[in-house]
Structure 1
Amino acid sequence: RTDPNTGLPMLSETAILRDAKSLSEVSYRAENTTKTRYLYRIVGTKEHAHAEDWMLGRLHQLKAECDRLGKLRGGLECEVVRQVGSGSHRFDMMGRRVDKLYTNVTNLIFRLSNGTPSGKEHALLVNAHLDSTLPSPGAADDALPSAIMLDCIRVLIQTLGWSPASAIIFLWNNAEESLQDGSHLFSTQGEMGGTARAVLNLEAAGVSGPELLFQATSEEMIEAYSHVPRPYGTVLANDIFSSGIILSDTDFRQFQEYRNLTGLDIAIVGGSYLYHTRRDIVANIHPGVTQHMAENVLALLKYLSSPASPIPRLSTFSPPQTTYFTLFGTYFLSWPFSVAQQLHNALLVLSLALAYSSAPVGISIVEYFHGSIYTLAAILGAATGANVVAGFMAYVAKRKMSWFAREWYAAALYVGPAMFGQHRSGLFHRSAASEVVSFTSVHLFFVSLAVGLQYAGVGSSAIGFLWGLSSFLALCYYVAPARRDSEGLPLVSYLIAQIIPASLGGETAAVLLEIFVPLTGRTGDEAPSEHIVASIVAISVFLVVPHAISFSWRLSRRFLRRVLAILGAISILIIIVFATGCIAIFDELHPRRLFILHSEDLLSGERSLHVSVADSAPGVLGLVSDIADRFGATGMPDPRAVAMDEWNVDWDVLYPFSQFLTPFKIPLPTARRSAGSDQHDNGDDAIATLRVFAEMDQYDAFNGKRELHLVIEHPGIIWPVIAFDAHILSWNLNSTPPPDYARHHIKEASFYGVNKWQISFVLNVTSGGVHPPPLPIQFQGIQEKGMWPGKILERDAARGAMDLFEQIDGWLQHRDDGVVYDAMMLGCITGAVEI
């Protein structure tokens, strides 16, 4: 913790991992051995409340040390605040609307300042969420950034002579995984939120690193990121994330929407554990990942709290107008859009002049037009070749996601077909003239793309510029010695042209596959995952070897046909390997993720098992049939897929993410006890139940309006949700209801022990009768003691569901199908009522 040479405090990876471990697991003695129990910090659970108590204790320890050091040297003040609040907000994702309520949700805040009013007027906000996802220990997501923030505080307050010119607000928000309730609370309530001028949002999307800059939303914050010792971020990642292509979201949204804060959205990437909830544990965090993020965060804290910081000026900020790249994880290269536009325009003018001077004798502008057509044909040929194979894998071989276990499997499967399709166009031209024209056409394609995208304000246009710059230098080498002979372009020109595509293009392709293979693999069965991955590989082939089509024209037609025949034969062999199942789709690092809900209807006592997967890989029907045969009610027909839409209430606890699932419903044997009677009162354990009723109901028949005040009681239940169809004219939520008759999903999250919430609204009733028609309301919630394996030591509180989950879990681990499973199993209460 202290540098032995300088005596100054330094970051400690050991201390950070120890704190992350304290948040996500605990050791206990059982059967004369030491075992590990993973802590699932899900909002509304006892474990989450304990985690908050632990964190609050750590913050008070740091405050005590800060107070002691502040008295000795001055210029340092630390404050600890536990924020508690209730509220509501609208949350849209994947084209679906959810209205969120939260009750007594908490945040933990540590403000570090110089103790003066002016020093607290403008602050940097640093955020991580304390809760974990359903159901996960959350060692990386987000205990690791939470622990990094703790160690950064220690280093700052122990550094002699350091005092922040601008305050730093460290926020551990809660209920991020229940759709960002804690960050909404901080953004809309309390005084400290009003002093924040910029935000560093720290997340985790993997365990192997490095930490990637996902979003930078102003010129000032891009410049601030240039001060980190280990930069890893490109404008391409920023453009991809900002476009909404990646179906992911962070607290960054709330700080932007409700406080208009600029900032940096930073996340640990790499590895696949995050996509498998039960494997997000400390043991899987790779060495060095912690240090990488911690050093960058500390550098940002020091710069953004210094007198040179832009924080006091960020009440208004400049939108991003900078192109930036990281080189070798050490150098951060950036230049403004204005410079980029000039460079791109200049390169286009020089390229046109060079194309004219390098044109072989007798070549006209029409030839260049043909060359451009063949360049596009090569790109389309690569995409066609890869997608034909994708169609075969998906619909003929029935082997979707055969590439999921390793990102490079996708390249192994689709690079050959993409190159085959790309080189098919080379059969049309074999002369040296065509080679030069083709090479020049590819060059002009990249340069023109750079100019067009830059005018559109897309920072990633730099890729076209850098690729075009490489081929421009190659053409200069061709022209300088007047090499316009029958042999075409010299080989050195190809080597020059490949320097940037082979290096940056290879890295870009790897990043694209690392991002999209896990995410695309986790989409639903109806999603075109196979074609998305195939298209990414085809694009990557063109980015890495853009001039391969030009080089192929040096070959004779006969030789090129032989090359294509060999390439086709190799591709067919690889396709056979993937199509016949010789390569496992799932393994320990990439298990098949199952979603299993044990649902019990409070009114009828009917029990059912709902099974789904978040991927389109084969084997779903066989798995579901085996589960039904082994655990379902006897004498029932074979399970069939259930329509997944907004009216499928079986999965409302996961709405709107449930829209990507392919669900099956399996009836279970009828419960021998009435609903809720298998719950046990173990001290503070409430009987799990859920009740919806109207505390106030007024009907205005003349105006066709009905005013309702609903009460939802849910002892022992977390994340309750109600769903109904109605035309709501007004309500007491902090959002405007849909203007017409619509489906409504209203979800709630609350702190442990809070078992009641309310909502009021006015309905438009068109029946015209003396009495209003009844309003059917469906409801669902998760048993706080019914999550496997997080509640394995408290199973008696949800005995029926947990006993079944234990059997299913053991059966999955020993199922002889060569698949590794990671099942998220939740005990749910469901029902319906007419108001």
Structure 2
Amino acid sequence: MGSTKTRARNTRRKLAKFATLNPQGTSKVSELTQQNQSPTSTQEKEVAPLPSTSGTPLVAAPSLLAPPKVIMTTVELDDRKYMSKMRPKKATQSTWRNTGAANISNKRSDMDANIGSTRGKVTNGVNVVDSLTSVTDGDNKGDINLLSRNYSELAKMEGYPKAGDMVAYKLLEIDSSYNPTISDFKEATVISFSEVNMEAQVLLDPNFRKPLEMDSEGLPVLGKFDVYDEGILERTKQGIAIVPWNDLVECRVIFKEPSFTQTPMDVPGALKQRHFKGPFDSDERDLSGVSLFSPEVLVDAALRSSFVSFGTRIQGKESLGYGEGTRSNKKQPSSFSSPKTAFSAWCLFLGFLFLIIAVTFRVHYTLPSPVYEGLDVISGKPQFSEENVRQIIRYMTQDIGYRVVGTEQELDTKNYLVGDGSHRFDFMSKVVMKMYTNMTNIIVRLSCGPECDQNSILLNAHYDTTLGSPGAADDALGCGVMIEIIRIMSLRPAPKKNSVIFLFNGGEESLQDASHSFITTHELRDKVRAVVNLEACGTSGPEVLFQANSREMIDAYGTVPYPHGTVLANDLFATGLILSDTDFRQFVDHGNLTGLDMAVYKNSYLYHTHLDLDEFLEEGLPQHMGENTLALATYLTEEANLTNLERTSSVVFFDVFGLFFVSYSWTAAICSHILIAGLALFTMATRISRPTLRGSVSILLSFIAALLAPNLSVVLLQSLGSPMQWFSHEWLPVILFGPMALAAMFGVQVLFHFKNASTGANEISTLSSLQVFFTFALCISSYVGLASSYVFALFTLCITVALVFNHMKGARSHGYGLEVNHVDFATYFVASFLPTTYFSFICFSLLDMFVPLTGRIGVDAPVDNIIAIMSGFVTFVICPPLLAFSHRFGRAILKRIAIVLLILHLVLVLISSAVMYPYDELHPKRVFIQHLRNMTSGESLLYLAHADPGPFYEPYVTKIEAMFEGEASFRSAATNPSDWNAIYPFNQFLESYVLDTSTYIRTHTVNKTIAESTAPLTSLIRAAPKLMAENVVYDSKTGLRRLTVLCTHPNYIWTVASFDAHLTSWSMGSSEPFPYPSHYVIRHVGGHVSDGWRVDLEHHATGSEDRLRIELTAMETEGFGRDTERELEGSGEIGVMRQIVRSRPAWTALTYFSIVADTFEL
């Protein structure tokens, strides 16, 4: 068998393909080769007499229906089960119609007599077969030779066949040299025909004579074709085939089925037999008076005739027609039937999936109704009120405005503590040395007395804002929530176990200086046991728990009324792919605290823009965050034990549709994963699941194709000059790239669809291979310790349950303990419901996070490719069983679907390129404007930059060029890294255009001296920032030079000093300089009226005259939110920045500021 299989594999392209049914009546993925075989064994054995077959006659009804045919019965020889076949003599049409049940009984007696006469020596059962080929039928005796028919005289078949038709056909076969050849005419009786996939199920031509072969288990293998299943390495030979009708070389009609209006024959009592479990029903039936030409009887009888004559006993058991088992008289319930056509089936299944997605979309984005009263009108108890929070937000964003650290607006909250400090900050793969002065923190503590003060929970939010944003969500929302919680908790009885500290920090956007100050210097820091940080990078949807490092704190989160969090977000944030950070890091790194980090993240298009306003905060969002945070604070102060909190990342947690929260240890996760994987392996071992190597490879390649194929669309979009066409809506990438991903997935399945197998065989193989795919992913992710591996466990479990369901459902119809080689339509609903529902939630969150993020991760980032890959991933995971379902109606239908999807995708790409634009007012492009006065060169330069690869120069820069009557030149961040030092390290993501504004200033100034002067305009700047060196000491023995760098910057903020040196020590806190020459960036921020800073440095020098060359950039304090900047002395109001802001296109969001830059030798 092995050598034959090897030859079949090596000559696969030459093989004639069929799909056959195994003796259990189910489809089997196979490869068939026609072989010249001869008796292979001469070993002789004594054959015991056969048991008597007297008693109730065993009737093979098909003998009345369709000559010629193969009638199989089971006999026992030497305790081995053999299948014997009887070929009755050719009958005319009239003989076939008029043959009675008595003749059938006579033929059965003749057959029994012939079998009984084979006592004595038998060589591999050859004599048994030979004896059965000489069966008598009435007066006609002798071997049957159907090849004597003149097929050329028969009419060619018109149209499609029907059940009962006898046809002769030719097809492609393999000769003895394994070369393709056209066969002789073959006769077959049509059992059924499917117009959907153009395949006929036929009873094979019985005109074939050769020795009976035995398989490895001592069972006979019958029929003309070798059948191989690559995944299981079994071989069988069959008597029924699936014939692809379009592939026939020629087809002629021997006999056309009779009219169904014919008067039914009276069937004698011999036909009243128990109808065992078969392909259509499993109850006792009385065939008396039933038309033998009805399709149901014809198909049912033909199927049974090709397996085992029903009623034959095998080792004390009754044959069920599909193998051994126990007969069941229990009436089976009606099944959920599959639609009859491919179109209706696809519509029903896809409709089911879209319904799930629509419902989950609704549930996912539903927020609680806002509460407008601070006290419950019935009970009078304090309750969380969204309206109170919004009043605070409106005051902070509208009345105060931009609360940038160091500005006057920062002083509007004056209940603060003051501290100085410095620290190292690693962010965006860069090292920033931070210094801060006059940082403002506002602290409120609620306590029940000294006994509660030893263990405190810290709630943190920041009230400062970034450049160019009023910060309604980020983070006036967090501040408003904490103020409302203070109101509620102060009206309640005092906390029972632990105190709570509310920290309103004033320096998060300056790279977390205020939280660093608190956790490293404040006297309360030693009392804090855990922290809950409130953040936002979006303006809608529920806030998500995206960082957690303690089992106790995760359990505490389980008490909130609207849980929304998963360890997936925790693992994703830990990778650094999301270029963001929060105060939570300072509390963990410098305070060794455990805690929770929660943030609003949906609709982050408005994050850090001028549109972060109260009016764009979704209704219900403050209520959602507030009630969750209040529940956490209540539990942690009333019930939680905060004395022994341990940091750990080995916790699995996730919410279930926002209804409840699940968390368990990694040990429990491993145990559950082992059980799920073990269950999957059990189903494979028991043949409930039957994956194949071919199917497993197709799943892997489909997954890869789903990820990579949409990138071909990216090439097309970019060639059309239309990058980022998907940016304006989070779901748009799936609409744009999803059809391409599906087309690629289905295209792989077309290539791997086994044409020789039935559609059911392809379905069960693919669904089982999906189980293998996710089981393997589960094992690998569990082995590496990935807490997010629970998602693979969910997939594996659901597909395994679906396969068991499919087996049980099929077994109730076909016999328990038997293989079921088709997929019931209801199985797809079982396999898809939970995974599609849950992963719809996950995919919504994934798209909500990453699609807007692509607008600020850099010009050089391949965002189109990133989103294309993500869209392919979403398409694949939203319903993997679609891959198995795609085989349901055959390769031809699957191929057409893939082509339609490809055409649909091309149409969508062309339409989007022609009529769509990536940006609009609520989904703007981020534009950065910097008016730089270079004190060293005397230039006054306007920098225009963007942070994504979308359109920029044509729609925006050209208008600025016309406004300022100059030509902009391109400036790369890679070659000019210090251009945007003011916002280091974000400057690495920017791509700039620069134009000189000197001409514009001289033209529009009211000062004629300035207009007519040729001196640099920077000479008019007064009180510019300066650097000075103090206490300079050079040690010639060590070659080390020490100095104190003093910076003065009256009314400037956010100074940045950058230099190259080999430092040996500094006064920058506990961190040490790099032990090699490096580039250093020291960034300083300060509260209002912070006029300077100093730092001590020691560096290697070549001599006493060796100097440090330091570039200093300082940002002006004026103009934030008022479109103004500091004017040159005596120039009048020129308003460069005001012109920029007033001419801003609606689809842009500006971050703008003015800076002064200079270079110093110290």
TM-score (norm 1): 0.88
For 1:825, the equivalent position in structure 2 comes to 1152
For 1:760, the equivalent position in structure 2 comes to 1096
Q: Secondary structure at the match of 2:516?
A: helix
For residues 268 and 506 of structure 1, the distance between their equivalents in structure 2, rounded to whole angstroms, comes to 19
For 1:409, the equivalent position in structure 2 comes to 732
For 2:859, the equivalent position in structure 1 comes to 525
Pair 1:47 & 2:387 matched:
no
Counterparts in 2 of 1:646 and 1:301: CA distance versus 1, 3 Å = farther
Counterparts in 2 of 1:413 and 1:688: CA distance versus 1, 3 Å = farther
Counterpart among 388, 397, 401 of residue 24 in structure 1: 397
Counterparts in 2 of 1:802 and 1:567: CA distance versus 1, 3 Å = farther
For 2:1087, the equivalent position in structure 1 comes to 751
For residues 521 and 871 of structure 2, the distance between their equivalents in structure 1, rounded to whole angstroms, comes to 47
Counterparts in 2 of 1:661 and 1:309: CA distance versus 1, 3 Å = same
With a CA cutoff of 8 Å and minimum separation of 6, indicate the structure with the bigger relative contact order: 1
CA contact 1:224–1:303 (8 Å) conserved in 2: yes
Pair 1:170 & 2:502 matched:
yes
CA contact 1:632–1:666 (8 Å) conserved in 2: no
CA contact 1:128–1:142 (8 Å) conserved in 2: yes
Counterparts in 2 of 1:762 and 1:740: CA distance versus 1, 3 Å = same
For residues 799 and 506 of structure 1, the distance between their equivalents in structure 2, rounded to whole angstroms, comes to 59
Pair 1:3 & 2:376 matched:
yes
For residues 798 and 292 of structure 1, the distance between their equivalents in structure 2, rounded to whole angstroms, comes to 53
Q: Secondary structure at the match of 1:311?
A: coil
Counterparts in 2 of 1:17 and 1:121: CA distance versus 1, 3 Å = same
For residues 313 and 194 of structure 1, the distance between their equivalents in structure 2, rounded to whole angstroms, comes to 14
Q: Secondary structure at the match of 1:147?
A: helix
Q: Secondary structure at the match of 1:748?
A: strand
CA shift at 1:328, angstroms?
Answer: 2.8
For residues 922 and 1123 of structure 2, the distance between their equivalents in structure 1, rounded to whole angstroms, comes to 24
Q: Give the letter aligned to residue 411 of structure 2.
A: A
For residues 722 and 549 of structure 2, the distance between their equivalents in structure 1, rounded to whole angstroms, comes to 41
CA contact 2:764–2:821 (8 Å) conserved in 1: no
Could you list the per-position Cα deviations for residues 21-77 of structure 1 after superposition, in whole angstroms to 9, with x for gaps in the alignment? 111112xxxxxxxxxxx6100000001112x22xx3xxxxxxxxxxxxxxxxxxxxx
CA shift at 1:747, angstroms?
Answer: 0.4
Matches within 5 A, 1:64-103: 82-103=416-437
CA contact 2:539–2:616 (8 Å) conserved in 1: yes
Matches within 5 A, 1:317-336: 317-336=646-665
More helix by share: 1
CA shift at 1:506, angstroms?
Answer: 1.4
CA contact 2:651–2:664 (8 Å) conserved in 1: yes
CA contact 2:604–2:849 (8 Å) conserved in 1: no
Pair 1:563 & 2:897 matched:
yes
For residues 481 and 376 of structure 2, the distance between their equivalents in structure 1, rounded to whole angstroms, comes to 18
For residues 662 and 156 of structure 1, the distance between their equivalents in structure 2, rounded to whole angstroms, comes to 49
For residues 801 and 404 of structure 1, the distance between their equivalents in structure 2, rounded to whole angstroms, comes to 38
For residues 685 and 734 of structure 2, the distance between their equivalents in structure 1, rounded to whole angstroms, comes to 37
The structure with the largest alpha-carbon Rg is 2
For residues 928 and 648 of structure 2, the distance between their equivalents in structure 1, rounded to whole angstroms, comes to 41
Q: Give the letter aligned to residue 112 of structure 1.
A: L
Could you list the per-position Cα deviations for residues 308-357 of structure 1 after superposition, in whole angstroms to 9, with x for gaps in the alignment? 3122223xx15133322212322112232222211211111121121233
CA shift at 1:643, angstroms?
Answer: 2.4
For 2:607, the equivalent position in structure 1 comes to 275
CA contact 2:1116–2:1126 (8 Å) conserved in 1: no
Q: Give the letter aligned to residue 508 of structure 1.
A: I
CA shift at 1:601, angstroms?
Answer: 1.5
Counterparts in 2 of 1:688 and 1:786: CA distance versus 1, 3 Å = farther
Could you list the per-position Cα deviations for residues 623-648 of structure 1 after superposition, in whole angstroms to 9, with x for gaps in the alignment? 22331232154xxxx43332213852
Pair 1:492 & 2:826 matched:
yes
CA contact 2:1123–2:1137 (8 Å) conserved in 1: no
CA shift at 1:474, angstroms?
Answer: 0.8
Q: Secondary structure at the match of 1:354?
A: helix
CA shift at 1:792, angstroms?
Answer: 4.5
For residues 263 and 790 of structure 1, the distance between their equivalents in structure 2, rounded to whole angstroms, comes to 39
CA shift at 1:373, angstroms?
Answer: 1.3
Counterparts in 2 of 1:143 and 1:797: CA distance versus 1, 3 Å = farther
CA shift at 1:829, angstroms?
Answer: 0.8
CA shift at 1:462, angstroms?
Answer: 0.9
Counterparts in 2 of 1:793 and 1:150: CA distance versus 1, 3 Å = farther
For residues 319 and 746 of structure 1, the distance between their equivalents in structure 2, rounded to whole angstroms, comes to 33
CA shift at 1:676, angstroms?
Answer: 6.5
Pair 1:342 & 2:671 matched:
yes
In the alignment, structure 1 segments of 5+ residues that lack a partner are 27-37, 57-81, 680-686, 814-818
Could you list the per-position Cα deviations for residues 406-461 of structure 1 after superposition, in whole angstroms to 9, with x for gaps in the alignment? 01110111101100111111112143323212111111221232232223222211
Q: Give the letter aligned to residue 743 of structure 1.
A: H
CA shift at 1:90, angstroms?
Answer: 0.8
Counterparts in 2 of 1:461 and 1:486: CA distance versus 1, 3 Å = closer
For 1:628, the equivalent position in structure 2 comes to 961
Q: RMSD between aligned alpha carbons?
A: 2.2
Q: Secondary structure at the match of 1:785?
A: coil
For 1:354, the equivalent position in structure 2 comes to 683
Could you list the per-position Cα deviations for residues 116-165 of structure 1 after superposition, in whole angstroms to 9, with x for gaps in the alignment? 1x321111111001100112111110011101111101111111x33342
For residues 430 and 709 of structure 2, the distance between their equivalents in structure 1, rounded to whole angstroms, comes to 35
For residues 41 and 626 of structure 1, the distance between their equivalents in structure 2, rounded to whole angstroms, comes to 31
CA shift at 1:20, angstroms?
Answer: 1.3
For residues 909 and 394 of structure 2, the distance between their equivalents in structure 1, rounded to whole angstroms, comes to 43
Counterparts in 2 of 1:163 and 1:328: CA distance versus 1, 3 Å = same
For 2:788, the equivalent position in structure 1 comes to 460
Length, aligned pairs only: 764
Pair 1:386 & 2:710 matched:
yes
CA shift at 1:553, angstroms?
Answer: 1.9
Counterpart among 99, 114, 123 of residue 448 in structure 2: 114
Counterparts in 2 of 1:486 and 1:733: CA distance versus 1, 3 Å = closer
Counterparts in 2 of 1:187 and 1:798: CA distance versus 1, 3 Å = farther
Counterparts in 2 of 1:253 and 1:741: CA distance versus 1, 3 Å = same
Q: Secondary structure at the match of 1:313?
A: coil
CA contact 1:273–1:280 (8 Å) conserved in 2: no
CA shift at 1:387, angstroms?
Answer: 1.5
Q: Secondary structure at the match of 2:731?
A: helix
For residues 947 and 739 of structure 2, the distance between their equivalents in structure 1, rounded to whole angstroms, comes to 28
Matches within 5 A, 1:126-525: 126-159=459-492, 161-306=493-638, 308-314=639-645, 317-358=646-687, 368-394=692-718, 396-427=719-750, 428-430=752-754, 431=757, 432-480=760-808, 481-482=810-811, 488-525=822-859
Q: Secondary structure at the match of 1:258?
A: helix
Q: Secondary structure at the match of 2:1143?
A: helix
For residues 669 and 492 of structure 1, the distance between their equivalents in structure 2, rounded to whole angstroms, comes to 74
Aligned residues with identical type, % of pairs:
34
Pair 1:550 & 2:884 matched:
yes
CA contact 1:786–1:797 (8 Å) conserved in 2: no
Further displaced range: 432-441 or 118-127? 432-441
CA shift at 1:749, angstroms?
Answer: 0.4
CA shift at 1:621, angstroms?
Answer: 4.8
For residues 670 and 993 of structure 2, the distance between their equivalents in structure 1, rounded to whole angstroms, comes to 54
Further displaced range: 88-97 or 40-49? 88-97
Pair 1:778 & 2:1111 matched:
yes
Q: Give the letter aligned to residue 22 of structure 1.
A: Y
For residues 1158 and 905 of structure 2, the distance between their equivalents in structure 1, rounded to whole angstroms, comes to 53
For 2:249, the equivalent position in structure 1 comes to none
CA contact 1:205–1:268 (8 Å) conserved in 2: yes
Q: Give the letter aligned to residue 562 of structure 2.
A: R
For 2:931, the equivalent position in structure 1 comes to 598
In the alignment, structure 2 segments of 5+ residues that lack a partner are 1-373, 1003-1009, 1011-1015
CA contact 1:720–1:782 (8 Å) conserved in 2: yes
CA contact 2:977–2:987 (8 Å) conserved in 1: no
